[in-house]
Structure 1
Amino acid sequence: MPNRLAQETSPYLLQHADNPVDWWPWSGEAFEEARKSGKPVLLSVGYSSCHWCHVMAHESFEDQETADYLNAHFVNIKVDREERPDVDAVYMEAVQAATGQGGWPMTVFLTPDAEPFYFGTYFPPAPRHGMPSFRQVLEGVRSAWADRRDEVADVAGKIVRDLAGREISYGDSQAPGEEELAQALLGLTREYDPQRGGFGGAPKFPPSMVVEFLLRHHARTGAEGALQMATDTCERMARGGIYDQLGGGFARYSVDREWVVPHFEKMLYDNALLCRVYAHLWRATGSELARRVALETADFMVRELRTAEGGFASALDADSDDGSGKHVEGAYYVWTPAQLTEVLGETDAELAAQYFGVTDEGTFEEGASVLQLPQQEGVFDAEKVASVKRRLLDARDARPAPGRDDKVVAAWNGLAIAALAETGAFFDRPDLVEAAVAAADLLVRLHLDEQARLARTSKDGHVGANAGVLEDYADVAEGFLALTAVTGEGVWLEFAGFLLDHVLARFVDPESGALYDTASDAEQLIRRPQDPTDNAVPSGWTAAAGALLSYAAQTGAEPHRTAAERALGVVKALGPRVPRFIGWGLAVAEALLDGPREVAVVGPALDDPATRLLHRTALLGTAPGAVVAVGAVGSDELPLLADRPLVGGEPAAYVCRNFTCDAPTTEVERLRSSLNG
């Protein structure tokens, strides 16, 4: 019989709705039950495409004997970290502080007042590799709760006090200058892997936000080393197994330093960020590889992640049926020489094996290989390669597909909107811009209420109950601002303003200018989460700084610019020390140092060819964080267009920076030169 999770909309929670564990969703009622029953709380946090979450579920949460023990001695709460990033952040901070590491599944034991006292991640069903079994952990916690409750309460109280003392302080809260950005670049150079691209060792994650900083820094300063690190990293990733060489799109990370074997789950946020990065790399260098990867990744998102309502689903699982009924990681994506021959015949299979690096030994498990591009494509016949790829993709489409998490997350859709809008504009793909507009329409129609408060998630056209957090407001505003620049429609700027007004009113500390991940009127947890560092996506803090800065440049809104500058104080403190983990903040700081530049393009009509050419030239400028407004002469939709007439009866572009404007120009080359760094 289904448990309480059957009433939820989260695909992850629904995966556990038929567990024999008597799960509760995160709620006041669950903690009230713990207080009434005198039981401790087991909090289990994960997400739908998490491999080890599935493993622990099969081993423990689907086991009747384990479930009986859990139901008898604990109040059991299951949380989707993607729906409740605030809950995840608070308790992950406690796990990392106590154990020095964290991850998912996250397993935390709480008092009925939600105070944590024991932590872990995955626990096996039997002791192994120095880890206790899950049953041993449960028995130990139950014993401590029954026999040493005062001691448990003391531990929990101390942990909560320690967490409360972790408020972020960042000195004079001034934005970083040239010195700090140069130190950040030096730090990245030290951590750079010159043989393989990327930063650090295994596992290796796509450094999207850092690459964006490197591209902007090169555009502003001409530092060739920055561009070289960005270019080489992007090429290594695009040629490696982390990139889907048949269907486009990136996996979550590489388990090795060489980008060969990925963890095969595909996340919307990774692909949105990387699509935009490769589009920006093409804008800076003209790289054909960057162009191809940007477009293939955009097409992947639209083809495989777009929902019926026009939004974008969160993720594709790493695991899928291997054809024999077993769920195996990577089964959908890997190939053996024999499988190539079965689909292509011997001659074309040999070509495919050379082209994609498929060997008898394999690069993955059981002799299978992850497809890569180990050699330069130019040595192969392009038509034959295209035929091979088409036939392999058709054959792969016939395999059992990975599961899809259909949850629409506001923040990640904001990132996708920005990526698709810009990629569509750069490469004359109006269908991609239309997909971005449709996703934005869904967010406005479904996720925004009458006060422009933002809901975190929706699924199947039904909005979820969880309030948006800072990254939702910031990333959706970023997406709307990108749409403003691409479409010239003032409504998107207006909606961005609504969201950023909430940021100023409900997420910013008025005394220090620091930002919190949750609103001032949000559910009160054991501490108000606050983290300026990037993880898989830009932090809400630095994403908000970027959106506030762009909005101020579009509108002249001084409070928004001041808030952005104050927020960047944390980048001044952290950028020189941990540049890998605050890349988006560094990228925003580059925009601030450059102005950012404000470009207004006016013409007799938006579809006028000369106006469109000036507009495209403005969008392709590499000046960091430049904002673009386009419209018909006399339009009042966008503030930057005010009092901007045609020049000699011809369409014109106006470029301003730091309260100083260049003479308007009707010439494409002159506009291009004024916007390229």
Structure 2
Amino acid sequence: MTDPSHPNAAPAPVHHAVPEVPARAAEADTREPALPGVATPSAELTRELRTATEAHGPGYVPRTEHLLPGGAPAYTNRLIHESSPYLLQHAHNPVNWHPWGPEALAKARALDRPIFLSIGYSTCHWCHVMERESFEDEEIAAYLNQHYVAIKVDREERPDLDDLYMRAVQMMRQRGGWPMTTVLTPDGQPFFAGTYFPPRDGVRGARQGLLSILRELVNRYETDRQGLLAMAAEVSARLVQASQPAPPGDVPSLSVVETAVQQLASTYDGTLGGFGRAPKFPQPTRVQLMLDDGLRRGAEASTRMAADTLRAMANGGLYDHVGGGFHRYSTDARWLVPHFEKMLYDNAQLVDAYLDGFAATGDPQFAQVAREVLDYVIREMTDPRGLFYSATDADSLTPSGHLEEGWFFTWTPAELRAALPAERARLVERRYGVTEGGNFEGRSIFFAATPLETLASEAGTGPDALTRTLRESLDVLYRVRSERPAPLRDDKIVAAWNGMMIHAFARAGWLLGDASYVTRARTAADALLAHQRDRAGRLYRTTMNGRGQQRGFLDDYAGLIEALLTLTEASGDARYLTAATTLQATLDAEYLDVANGGYFQSPRDGERLLARDKPSSDNAVPSGNSVAALNLLRLAALTGQADYRERAERVFASQATDMTRYPIAFPRMLLALGAYHARFLEVAVVGPPGAERDALLAVLRRTPSRARVVLVGDDAQLGALAASVPWLADKHAQQGRPTAYVCERGRCELPTRDASVLAQQLGVLRGPPSTGPASP
């Protein structure tokens, strides 16, 4: 069983081969802690691990069933030294876990043992299941400790390792997912791969359990070493072969975008919304691609499919109607029963998609959902510095002390009646489908079961009054729910995902006219720039408790650059454009594929694995190349430097073969390609704030376009930007009144103070958004 976080089969990512894994200078630390199967534990190492455990403080609760009298853990392994919440979850397993690194790899070579590599993340349900069933099992742990070097990896810290070995899993005809389980030679070449395995034969109907598999592989390693090594070499050779970048082609035409739209339309669920079958993932970039198609071609069908999907997700159980925010995915076609974890990257992208939906249709529900998600992030996912945590778990504690998926988020009629007056409890039951039998293991997931208009008619009130009553009731339920044991939160700060959320806050602040969201974005961006970089100014992938972990990857740079460009537009602050160009210079110097165009995932002086990944297709998180392509177009428009646009063209050309062959797998790249083929405009609105400036901004807000940069401010603000944005040099508020300038590559239309003229210059005329009430 897998945790299917890659919706719909996508083309395999393109890799760049590295001929061999060089020898590492680190010496093997062959000391062993006191764990099952360890014949001669090191007293010195055991003391080190005990001291490290005590350093976590008196409130530290070991995550293990193996406890000594008094509550101390019976076992501790080297993961206790790590900062990753996922790795720390496994620090007291009886398994002799090691973090990935030269010491662990040197130990495997020194002991001539295969490597048992387990990759997962802290909020992964089936990772938890495999931990409880297998990694807490002393017999299985003893066998691993005697015959393997066991390594744990947090995929969110090391996406390069995750991508590489997931590719191997897929090559060996195993369905991908997490936990990922691979067995490697001491030199890191895979010869066995899979995902979740039950502990023993027959459990969950499995023919072979993990213990039997481990024994069989050890037997083969001892009796048929050459055959096994030949298999590993073959898999590695296929990885290298698949990693050879295709020669760059021409920049694809818009026909590739149109083909992707047709492919998406063919998978559309016209009854329940969404694309494809269960399990259904939000896929916000695919929704955005359909919205863009609707705006570009006037294709009402594309807009309708996108809008109906946004409504279905917001009305279903995928959305947390009490606390805000979206769960990971829906296990059914109705968007009713979710997998209950919440990921920062999903919610950031969904805010962006709902803002697109609001701009394209004027539906106030979409703006309301975006606000509720951002408010959830402020309440529950923001650290004291203003940065954003990574995720919350699917599992939560029941009153009996057992971990169950979704318990925290579900309700019974009795719980509603205990929290609310009888009439309000009845309204909530009707609106959100709460019944005695429930819709999820005897409890009820909230969803929009009864239309607001129907309920208002039954209650003898108007929709606005009912909306207020429901909102007040949900606020009460939120306070009641907050008394329950909350799901585990992963508190690490991931640069790429923070970039996504900063972009979402900044864009929401600009589009919705809410300065408080822009302030949130500024606070987070300032903190990220201050705390997520080393002394040379290079990004860390993650930080936890102030400790930087791992050099940043392509998506960290691309995500933060996107955020800084959006914040430049939302705030008019020149500092953010300067920071964006500085980070782009680092990306160009250390990650650029000079020969073929596009960017590698890791820096040129990073750890050399079997292959150096060059991300292509868009999955749950967009490819860093897709994000970088639009960043480069925006930088070109802002700075007037043509080399940025040329680099964007080379990104498109580097992906041309796969993009043309599998266009549906590249929705975020196609958004950038659509912008490339459009009139890419530079727009300035110069003048003091007030009603006249707001009238000009209203035109821009209701005529959305990815092929546009917009700078807003008074003469002093935009004058400070003019050093980096040369086309601003002669743009002033005429007669002291707000004035709009529309330009294309420095060639400008006549300045105007008239909103209708501005709309004509932009090439789009649309009616004002609806201002009706949004449904809670």
Q: TM-score, normalised to structure 1's length?
A: 0.96
> 8 Å contact 1:201–1:257 — kept in the other structure?
yes
Q: Distance in 1 between matches of 2:712 and 2:421?
A: 54
Number of the residue aligned with 2:453? 378
How many angstroms does 1:489 deviate by? 0.6
> 8 Å contact 1:630–1:641 — kept in the other structure?
no
* Per-residue deviation, residues 534-562 of structure 1 (Å, max 9, x unmatched): 11111111111111111111111222111
Secondary structure of 1:358's aligned partner: coil
> 8 Å contact 2:538–2:586 — kept in the other structure?
yes
| Residues 1:672 and 1:204: Cα distance change in structure 2 (over 3 Å) | same
Secondary structure of 1:565's aligned partner: helix
Q: Distance in 1 between matches of 2:667 and 2:450?
A: 31
Number of the residue aligned with 1:670? 757
> 8 Å contact 1:43–1:79 — kept in the other structure?
yes
Q: Distance in 1 between matches of 2:137 and 2:90?
A: 12
Determine if the alignment matches structure 1 residue 36 to structure 2 residue 110: yes
How many angstroms does 1:471 deviate by? 0.7
> 8 Å contact 2:632–2:648 — kept in the other structure?
yes
Determine if the alignment matches structure 1 residue 462 to structure 2 residue 547: yes
* 1:382-461 equivalence runs, <5 A: 382-461=467-546
Match of 2:321 among 245, 260, 265: 245
> 8 Å contact 2:740–2:758 — kept in the other structure?
yes
Number of the residue aligned with 2:175? 101
Which consecutive residues of structure 2, in runs of 5 or more, have no partner in the other structure?
Answer: 1-74, 457-465, 765-776
* Per-residue deviation, residues 210-242 of structure 1 (Å, max 9, x unmatched): 112222222222111211111010000000000
Determine if the alignment matches structure 1 residue 305 to structure 2 residue 305: no
What letter matches 2:703 in structure 1?
A: G
Secondary structure of 1:137's aligned partner: helix
What letter matches 2:743 in structure 1?
A: C
> 8 Å contact 1:571–1:586 — kept in the other structure?
no
Q: Distance in 2 between matches of 1:372 and 1:608?
A: 40
* 1:1-400 equivalence runs, <5 A: 1-128=75-202, 129-167=205-243, 169=245, 172-365=248-441, 367-379=442-454, 380=456, 381-400=466-485
Number of the residue aligned with 1:652? 739
Q: Distance in 1 between matches of 2:763 and 2:215?
A: 64
What letter matches 1:31 in structure 2?
A: L
* Per-residue deviation, residues 489-514 of structure 1 (Å, max 9, x unmatched): 11111111112222222222212213
| Residues 1:673 and 1:402: Cα distance change in structure 2 (over 3 Å) | farther
> 8 Å contact 1:601–1:641 — kept in the other structure?
no
What letter matches 2:579 in structure 1?
A: F
How many angstroms does 1:111 deviate by? 1.1
Q: Distance in 1 between matches of 2:121 and 2:82?
A: 14
How many angstroms does 1:612 deviate by? 5.5
| Residues 1:87 and 1:201: Cα distance change in structure 2 (over 3 Å) | same
Q: Distance in 2 between matches of 1:261 and 1:203?
A: 10
Number of the residue aligned with 1:482? 566
| Residues 1:403 and 1:7: Cα distance change in structure 2 (over 3 Å) | same
Q: Distance in 1 between matches of 2:486 and 2:342?
A: 12
| Residues 1:675 and 1:242: Cα distance change in structure 2 (over 3 Å) | farther
Q: Distance in 1 between matches of 2:741 and 2:513?
A: 23
What letter matches 1:358 in structure 2?
A: V
| Residues 1:579 and 1:369: Cα distance change in structure 2 (over 3 Å) | farther
> 8 Å contact 2:254–2:674 — kept in the other structure?
no
Number of the residue aligned with 1:582? 666
* Per-residue deviation, residues 3-42 of structure 1 (Å, max 9, x unmatched): 1111111110111111111111110010001111111111
How many angstroms does 1:436 deviate by? 1.1
| Residues 1:240 and 1:266: Cα distance change in structure 2 (over 3 Å) | same
Q: Distance in 1 between matches of 2:484 and 2:436?
A: 22
How many angstroms does 1:346 deviate by? 4.2
Q: Distance in 1 between matches of 2:629 and 2:244?
A: 16
> 8 Å contact 2:280–2:335 — kept in the other structure?
yes
> 8 Å contact 2:682–2:745 — kept in the other structure?
no
* Per-residue deviation, residues 401-420 of structure 1 (Å, max 9, x unmatched): 11100011000000000101
* Per-residue deviation, residues 559-589 of structure 1 (Å, max 9, x unmatched): 2111112212366544565344211111111
Secondary structure of 1:247's aligned partner: coil
How many angstroms does 1:455 deviate by? 0.7
Q: Distance in 2 between matches of 1:513 and 1:384?
A: 56
Q: Distance in 2 between matches of 1:659 and 1:161?
A: 50
Aligned residues: 673
| Residues 1:614 and 1:463: Cα distance change in structure 2 (over 3 Å) | farther
How many angstroms does 1:595 deviate by? 3.0
Determine if the alignment matches structure 1 residue 625 to structure 2 residue 707: yes
How many angstroms does 1:448 deviate by? 2.2
What letter matches 2:238 in structure 1?
A: D
How many angstroms does 1:676 deviate by? 6.3
* Per-residue deviation, residues 25-65 of structure 1 (Å, max 9, x unmatched): 11001000111111111110000000010111111111222
Shifted more, 539-548 versus 75-84: the winner is 539-548
> 8 Å contact 2:174–2:193 — kept in the other structure?
no
> 8 Å contact 1:124–1:131 — kept in the other structure?
no
Secondary structure of 1:45's aligned partner: strand
Match of 1:493 among 566, 569, 577: 577
| Residues 1:247 and 1:210: Cα distance change in structure 2 (over 3 Å) | same
* Per-residue deviation, residues 324-344 of structure 1 (Å, max 9, x unmatched): 100000001111223223323
Q: Distance in 1 between matches of 2:327 and 2:239?
A: 33
How many angstroms does 1:255 deviate by? 0.3
> 8 Å contact 1:205–1:254 — kept in the other structure?
yes
| Residues 1:139 and 1:515: Cα distance change in structure 2 (over 3 Å) | same
How many angstroms does 1:107 deviate by? 0.7
| Residues 1:255 and 1:577: Cα distance change in structure 2 (over 3 Å) | farther
* Per-residue deviation, residues 513-543 of structure 1 (Å, max 9, x unmatched): 1332112221101111123111111111111
Q: Distance in 2 between matches of 1:587 and 1:374?
A: 34
Shifted more, 234-243 versus 119-128: the winner is 119-128
> 8 Å contact 1:61–1:67 — kept in the other structure?
yes
* 1:486-635 equivalence runs, <5 A: 486-569=570-653, 572-575=656-659, 577-603=661-687, 605=688, 607=689, 610-611=692-693, 614-615=696-697, 617-633=699-715, 635=719
> 8 Å contact 1:602–1:644 — kept in the other structure?
yes
Secondary structure of 1:656's aligned partner: strand
* Per-residue deviation, residues 285-344 of structure 1 (Å, max 9, x unmatched): 111110110100110111110012211000010000011100000001111223223323
Structure exhibiting the larger radius of gyration computed from Cα positions: 2
* Per-residue deviation, residues 446-482 of structure 1 (Å, max 9, x unmatched): 1123433111001223322x01111111011001111
Which consecutive residues of structure 1, in runs of 5 or more, have no partner in the other structure?
Answer: none
How many angstroms does 1:627 deviate by? 0.9
> 8 Å contact 2:199–2:211 — kept in the other structure?
yes
What letter matches 1:599 in structure 2?
A: V
Secondary structure of 1:457's aligned partner: strand
How many angstroms does 1:178 deviate by? 2.7
How many angstroms does 1:609 deviate by? 5.6
| Residues 1:284 and 1:125: Cα distance change in structure 2 (over 3 Å) | same
How many angstroms does 1:90 deviate by? 0.2
